[in-house]
Amino acid sequence: MVEFDPTRDYPLGTQRPDLVATPSGLRQSDVTLEALRAGRLDPDDIRATADTIRRQAAVALAAGRTQLAENLMRAAELAAVPADVVLDAYTALRPRRSTAAELEALAERLEVEHAAPRTAGFVREALAVYAQRGFLAADERRAAQI
């Protein structure tokens, strides 16, 4: 097998389809409308794997797009996180939806239970900004003013 080269192998789907697979192991070429109609695809077969997303991050980094690469690395962490946890995180990160303690608990959960330290760091960064800008849940803002 040829080593992945982020400067040469983009776009992955056309340059290196051997490196693109679904979470269940199907090759990219097996994910077709015909396969969907025939019932051979599971909803998870439409999702990207953490490996594929990490390769996309490497491509972004090689192109000098560091912020995109960091976003993709967080996405790679989240690829293995259950959908309900991702939805909980999305909801918790909406302004005025969570207290500081709730956001810290979410960060801890992502880091410890789901091996997502970059995403946990992102939640902690959001917590600091929310505290500074008054975007925490109402009871936290009142307590901080006392």
Do 69 and 2 share a structural domain? yes
44-69 burial by CB neighbour count: b if 16+ within 10 A, else e?
ebeebbbebbbbbbbbbbeeeeeeeb
- 10-residue mean pLDDT series, the chain (146 residues): 88 90 88 92 88 95 97 96 96 96 97 98 97 86 49
Q: For position 110, which CATH number holds?
A: 1.10.1510.20
Q: What are φ and ψ of residue 31, in 5° steps?
A: -90, 90
Do 14 and 74 share a structural domain? yes
Do 133 and 63 share a structural domain? no
Do 91 and 45 share a structural domain? no
Do 102 and 70 share a structural domain? no
Do 100 and 55 share a structural domain? no
Whether the Cβ atoms of residue 28 and residue 48 lie closer than 8 Å to each other? no
Last residue of a domain, one of 37, 55, 80: 80
Do 138 and 67 share a structural domain? no
Do 104 and 75 share a structural domain? no
Do 104 and 69 share a structural domain? no
Do 55 and 122 share a structural domain? no
pLDDT in the model for residue 139: 64
pLDDT in the model for residue 121: 98
Domain that holds residue 74: 1-80
pLDDT in the model for residue 74: 98
Do 34 and 2 share a structural domain? yes
Whether the Cβ atoms of residue 84 and residue 110 lie closer than 8 Å to each other? no
Do 97 and 70 share a structural domain? no
Count of domains forming the chain: 2
pLDDT in the model for residue 45: 85
Give the CA angle between residues 117, 121, 126 to the nearest 5°: 150
